[in-house]
Chains A and B, each alone.
Chain A
Amino acid sequence: MPDQPVVPDLSVLFAGKIHSPNPFWLASAPPTNCGDQVMRAFDAGWGGAVWKTLGDPIVNVSSRYSSVDWNGQRMMGLNNIELITDRPLETNLREIAEVKKRYPKQALIASLMVESTREAWHKIVQQSEDAGADGLELNFGCPHGMSERGMGSAVGQVPEYTEMITAWVKEKARTPVLVKLTPNITDIRTVARAAKRAGADGLSAINTINSITGIDLDTFVPRPEVDGKSSHGGYCGPAVKPIALNMVQQVQSDPEAALPLSGIGGISDWRDAAEFLLLGCSTVQVCTAVMHYGYRIVEDMTDGLANWMSEKGFARISDFQSKSLASVREWKHLNLNYKIVARIHEEKCIGCQLCYTACWDGAHQCIHMDRVGQTSHAGGGHHGGHVTPAMREAQSREVISMTPIPKLDYAASANDNEPYATPLARIPRVDESECVGCNLCYLVCPVPGCITMEEIDLNLPSQSWEQRTSSVPKPPITGRKCD
């Protein structure tokens, strides 16, 4: 019998105190609105949940959500103008206690937002911990509605307020305190540092991004519409993941800010989660994907992550946590003597010519359609001598095509001398001497493996911009692209 592969251990211990069977938590949002929901989520396999933010009762509007669809896919981005919980505090606390009693192994975090007084904060901390919360998440991030009342992002956008309130909470709290950061700020590290100075045990990032998702072109009112008016909301979902990843990296690469971090922002599957963990998160929080597809998605999140860990030989989360942080550097440390060029694998090319038009209009005009019929490319310089995209289209329009009718067309098909499935005339050619290795063609190519970026050995030692400018008094300007 071959050895059974080791089943990876997905459990995490957040901030040294919060146990969770896996790193997948539900973010404080509609999916954690009540005890029944959270218990069903735990049944589905979620490792933890951050309860919908507790605070003084509010009133919500309808409607509350709007989304950005993209290329026929729904909800690439989701926007909401919903406020914190609209249920009585006592109900929430009673249900937290009940959930904690029935699901002792899952992490249950209370998200909190009250008016900015020490008394109010002390009181809600006491109530939450008495109910059995494993930790507290201070909602300093909500960007709409609550911020107008001096709470949410109104706190999180001012390091001093963040530091002050975090300190009040720490005076009282016995469980770990997480500060949830808003992205609606110039440098997220300033607030993270303030939280750390005040003694926060952890962070969660990011909260939603100020947004207007779109405007109804018939009524001229932005969405979501509330009786003819709208208001900016908070943006989340797959669209915000790159922004969240960058902010997570910024915080975790800064010694004055770095803390145990629960990553949030567009996480929809196990790969997204792995990326957040690789940039230093200990857990991740999910909302939009659950609002779209339900709690069941956690099954593949745990399954996919475990399979990937087995494949990579990681026995536990900590084996790869933060692994990518070291490779994120400032631009000035990148090697200027590293050169790659695009290579088109003719046998895979389907002849869509997206790389050709992308290179001509969006890059550096070094992909050409000249494998057949045109011979003048050798001496024409960078732009000279090449047929332009517009000329090619004009040529095609002049060709007279007819429906092939078997009994009328005796000529055999003209595909006899073609070396590839795609006619040679439709396979683009990369001029490697002009290629700057920007990746654009590789990014637009619809066929996996058809365009690869290949390293060219320049026989030069590695040299960064910083090294070059510190060793040479007047640096030569070699960069071509600046956008």
Chain B
Amino acid sequence: MTSSDQHRTHPELVARFPDLHPPFDQQSALTEANRCLYCFDAPCTAACPTHIDVPRFIKKIAQSNLRGSALTILDANILGASCSRVCPVDVLCEGACVYHRYNQQPIEIGRLQRFAMDAFLHNGAQLPQKSAANKPGKVACIGAGPASLSCAAELRQQGFGVTVFERKALPGGLNTYGVAEYKLRSADSLREIEMIRSLGVDFRFGEEISAATLAKLEQDYHAIFLGVGLGAMHKLGVPGEDHPAVINALDFIERYKTGSNLTVGRRVVVIGAGNTAIDAARAARRLGAESVQILYRRDHQRMAAFAFEYTQAISEGVAFRWWTQPVAIHTYGPTISAIECVSTDPATLAGSALSKADIQVGGSKSSDTVPAGNLPSFRIPCDTVIPAIGQSPLLSFLELCRGVKLENNRVVVDRNTGQTSDPQYFAGGDCVNGGREVVDAVADGKRSAQALGRILEGAHA
């Protein structure tokens, strides 16, 4: 992971995926920082899952203490650099800014955070240790995504030994493989993780954890932190979806981010209206697709995507088709010809022969999927189909951790400590919360690490 190749971005990506929010220059950062009111017990800090002391780090920018500013951010959120780019700030810190109630623009907290973090990374990114001594106590973190990274960094800073086990070749999880390139480049994610590695966190890549290795970890480590995230993306469950021109959103995003494949069909259809669907649709536009349509079986009021994501997608030329559910993908040799859909519009359905019971809209995924055979269908010509209807839980792995209780396919934890029903196991991130943001995973990992720190100190006191 230290090779310089990984820190370089494919030139075509640089051209096609410029920064969504360009960085501040010195003077505009200063002006923006000075606009901050420096609220007491600030709502932005409360809204941040990691409780970054926002007014404090902004004040430090205003006073040209950029290192102090970055360390204020990192003290609360070790992935402060990537969070400054990927956080949905509109519904977090910036959404909570008191300026909303004063007819003024909220402070651009995300961009200011990026300004401080860019300066920190530029100046060598030396993280302080919170404890000078190496302490007895070892923790294994499974998965190298944001939750595990946060847990590992905090424990290591406190002086404990940490090993991170990752199935893939690179660390970072979705930060490296799954975030739209105009928000966060893989290279920047890896640079940030390099800073954590330099604390002395041990990384093992290409490690698939089996029941046997898990048993060994239980013996070798005092605690195991599960930061495994979610599993494969849901399948559409329609004929034709195994065709090679059907590629799920996460694979599609990973494929272009790693530079392994920068092509996309001329006409693209994305299924689903979550944030990942929008990331994929916008990427398809930027990679050259002439038309990109998002199909969603309900209407815009029920889409999972944030409002700002929707607005930005529209402005990039992505079209939305509501009340549209695919029933088959028609292929012709190596190409797709069309996707066949039915309308789930209650207005249309009301006139059909279906009973009311068949038209449940707004319930769980399965219950509002309309039976296909009974409705008139229509075809949308397309060349690429990108399903983006969410990730399934990583049950195959979680079931190996036998003492760890699941509920609704999520790991059950004590919210203050992240401890599972098996006291040796802690967990955080998507496998616990069902799939939220990077910053939520970082907060989970930090809480677990702090709890583990207290436990390990006590055990060896």
Contacts and interface: CB of A to CB of B under 8 A. Distances in A.
A352 B55 CA distance: 11
Interface string A422-462: 10001000000000000000000011000000000000000
Contact of A354 (B34, B40, B415, B435): B40
A72 B92 contact: no
B311 to A, nearest CB: 15
B279 interface: no
Interface in B410-439: 415-416, 433-437, 439
A351 interface: yes
Contacts of A392: 41
B58 interface: no
A351 B38 contact: no
Interface string B26-39: 01001101100111
Interface string B93-114: 0000011011000000000000
Contacts of B350: none
B88 A403 contact: yes
Interface stretch (B10-18, B44-52, B134-142, B218-226): B44-52
Contact of B433 (A72, A402, A407, A426): A402
B274 interface: yes
Contact of A350 (B45, B51, B62, B98): B98
Given A72-B31, A350-B101, A351-B98, A405 B304 contact: yes
A403 B436 contact: yes
A402 B49 contact: yes
Contact of B34 (A71, A356, A389, A399): A71
Contact of A352 (B48, B62, B98, B436): B98
B2 to A, nearest CB: 32
Contacts of B443: 400-402
B18 to A, nearest CB: 25
A184 interface: no
A16 to B, nearest CB: 48
Nearest to B95: A404
B33 to A, nearest CB: 8
A72 B30 contact: yes
A276 B17 CA distance: 57
A396 to B, nearest CB: 5
A408 B435 contact: yes
Contact of A421 (B45, B101, B303, B433): B101
Nearest to A357: B40
A444 to B, nearest CB: 9
Contacts of A401: 46-49, 51, 443
Contacts of A353: 39-41
A72 B62 contact: yes
B395 interface: no
Nearest to B301: A406
Interface residues of A, number: 30
Interface string A380-396: 00000000010011001
A403 B41 contact: no
Interface string A339-370: 00000000000111110110000000000010
B252 to A, nearest CB: 21
Interface residues of B, number: 41
A352 B88 CA distance: 22
Nearest to A394: B41
Given A401-B49, A404-B91, A354 B437 contact: no
A442 to B, nearest CB: 15
Contact of B415 (A400, A407, A426): A400
A194 to B, nearest CB: 45
Nearest to B76: A397
Nearest to A445: B37
Nearest to A70: B34
B249 to A, nearest CB: 16
Given A72-B31, A407-B274, A399 B41 contact: no
B240 interface: no
A202 to B, nearest CB: 41
B254 interface: no
B188 interface: no
Contact of A403 (B42, B274, B439): B439
B23 interface: no
Contacts of A402: 49, 433, 436, 440, 443
A479 B92 CA distance: 47
Contacts of B37: 352, 354, 446
A46 B47 CA distance: 53
15 contacts: A350-B98, A350-B102, A351-B43, A354-B39, A356-B40, A357-B40, A389-B40, A396-B41, A399-B46, A402-B49, A402-B436, A402-B440, A405-B436, A406-B303, A407-B304
Interface of B: 27, 30-31, 33-34, 37-43, 45-49, 51, 62, 88, 91-92, 98-99, 101-102, 274, 303-304, 306, 415-416, 433-437, 439-440, 443, 447
Given A350-B99, A350-B101, A404-B91, 4 more contacts: A354-B39, A399-B46, A405-B437, A446-B102
